[in-house]
Amino acid sequence: MRTRRTVSATLLAVLLLLGGALRSASLELRGSGGPGTWGVGATADGDIGRGWAASISDDFIAVTGTSAPSQTDMASLDFTKVRSESWQLKAGFDYCNDAVNQILYVGPDLGATYYRLSSSPKDSSAQEDEDGDDQGTLFTLTFDAPVHAYVVGLGANSEAGVTKKTKTTNGVPYVITDDAADLDVTQFGPELTLSLPLGAGAWTPSLSYAHDFYDKNPGELAELITRRFQTGSGSFRMNTLTGELFSDTVGGALRLKRGAWTLSGGFSASELLSPVVWMTTGEASLEWAIGAKVRFKAGWDDSCVEGESTPGYNGALTVTF
């Protein structure tokens, strides 16, 4: 029932967008699965005129195959504005809630993208190929700056019979207490991504780096989430929310395009706050375009923490109106 409500909310948003006489719009329906987990979601994009575009996404992810199940709703609303041939600005809002474990984060997401052009934007033949890919760009620099307020309810995350527990993160001791209604921390996570279209857009490598700042020591919050998703000594189960509490993240990706086929792959490493270890993630996907209106996509991803692997699979269908 929750799944139906999640997808229905996005479909309703699509109808509202289409009813506004958009110049163009697209709808993506997707699904994912893996050992003990599954998810569904949708994204609607629309050109609302005068250089403005809107995008709304809604996803539901369920983890059922561990001792710490979760049901997570994620939603985002973004608006982008083309300021010039070289600049695009973004303003959005993110929401994510695990109702089972009482883990919530919400907050704005601001960003900007700079395109370094190699030819005059008036020369349309140099700017786009037959599939609409930009060929006149030397590089693209994207900056994202989300601010997320985390709240964890202790009712679902406290340990039975434990009222105080001393821990150490990066050599700094702190105390966990279960005598409050919840714990909260604010995260500022700027990320910079550099993309280099090469071979007239036939292949595009990219590099990214992100560092998260917190308004207080996040170790107490991270320990509560870790404790909730711990499945044994040396065993660690990641879910969407737990994976947000990082210190540093570095990544690289490569996109290869040939005709109607696009092959993409990426690898990233993120330092977790609790336990203080690195999580590595690899992903790959293959996309097939049928004309200019329909695209199919199939993908694979795998995250590894302390030797424990969590593979997953996903697929998507995108239709342009």
Instruction: Say whether 320 sits in a helix, a strand or coil.
Output: strand
pLDDT confidence of residue 133: 53
CA dist 287 and 299 (Å) reads 9
pTM: 0.79
Cβ–Cβ < 8 Å for 62, 74: no
pLDDT confidence of residue 240: 45
Q: What CATH number should be reported for the domain whose range is 48-314?
A: 2.40.160.40
CA dist 125 and 161 (Å) reads 70
By CB atoms closer than 10 A (0-12, 13-18, 19+), residue 53 is: buried
Which amino acid does the sequence have at 218? P
Residue 34, both tokens: 């893996």
Cis status, amide bond into 35, omega within 30 of 0:
no
CA dist 39 and 41 (Å) reads 7
CA dist 1 and 186 (Å) reads 32
CA distances from 94 to 106, 243, 262 (A): 6, 15, 29
CA dist 204 and 196 (Å) reads 5
CA dist 216 and 301 (Å) reads 32
Cβ–Cβ < 8 Å for 229, 222: no
Torsion angle in degrees (nearest 10) through CA of 30, 188, 107, 272: 50
Q: How many residues does the chain have?
A: 321
What is the full DSSP assignment across 204-215?
A: EEEEEEEE-EES
Please tell me what DSSP assigns to residue 159.
Answer: P
CB contact set of 60 (below 8 Å; sequence gap of 6+): 2, 3, 6, 7, 39, 40, 41, 71, 72, 73, 74
Per-10-residue mean pLDDT, the chain, length 321? 52 54 80 90 88 90 73 91 93 89 88 84 42 69 94 61 46 49 84 93 95 85 66 40 75 96 96 81 96 95 84 94 83
- If we measure between CA atoms, which residue out of 246, 304, 303 comes closest to residue 276? 246
- If we measure between CA atoms, which residue out of 127, 145, 265, 130 comes closest to residue 197? 127
**Cα-flanking dihedrals φ and ψ of residue 3, to 5°?**
-60, -45
Cβ–Cβ < 8 Å for 79, 63: no
Ordered by start, the domain boundaries in the chain are 48-314
pLDDT confidence of residue 234: 34
